Amino acid sequence: MEMNELAVLGGIWMSLLYSATVVPASVWVIQLTVSRGWLCGLACSLGLTLGQLPWAITAAAVLFQFPGLWQTLDLGLRALAAGFFIWMALRSARAPAVRGLHVETDAGTWALIKSSFWRSLVMPWRLPLWAGLIISISVHLTGPGWGLAPQFGLGALAGQMGWFAHFVLIAGLFGRRVPEDISLRSINKLRLLATVVLAGLALIILAPVAFPPAP
């Protein structure tokens, strides 16, 4: 398989892990879809996805480009990434439960895209999140080159839009047909999913340190 294709597939896979950890974004998409319909849910999804894209491409470009440096700093990078994921896992586990499905907003489609874009873009912790995801698969040690960052970003774009589209579809079909308390129980399980994914990523990142490969 060509490196370009691998970069796109890697972006898709990483974006699914990324999306599983960013619970508020998924909840917001679900709430907007239930409250305003499919088009508003998709508009919000597009804005959120485009807002995280610069962080994904930046993290990939930096970590893909300097394998010699990252090999030297690998232990420190892994410690920082694992600590960040553990912090996020604790934050997710302690997050308040979602109390309602409906939100009050009269913003149009374009306004929702813009507001969701800026909401996603101004979250600077998205950069260490993307960096940690890349470190978890150790691709920073092989140095595929910054030129593959746009392909990685393309995969991230496709993967996150697919993640959100799945919630828009479910919320659009069943959001008003299923009793709200049942829907809320399902939505609140996303916090558990995020906590498990984040804790698992911390363990994966530290595994090469605890169990170094045989020489």
pTM, full prediction: 0.91
7: closest CA among 47, 48, 63, 46?
63
How many Å apart are CA 54 and CA 66, to the nearest integer?
19
For the chain (215 residues), the mean pLDDT of every run of 10, in chain order, is: 84 94 94 92 96 96 94 94 96 92 85 94 92 94 91 96 95 87 91 95 86 58
CA–CA separation, 200 vs 86, rounded Å? 9
CA distance 18 to 197: 9
Q: What is the pLDDT of residue 107?
A: 80
* Number of helices followed by number of strands (H, E) in the chain: 9, 0
* Phi, psi angle pair for 176, to nearest 5°: -100, -5
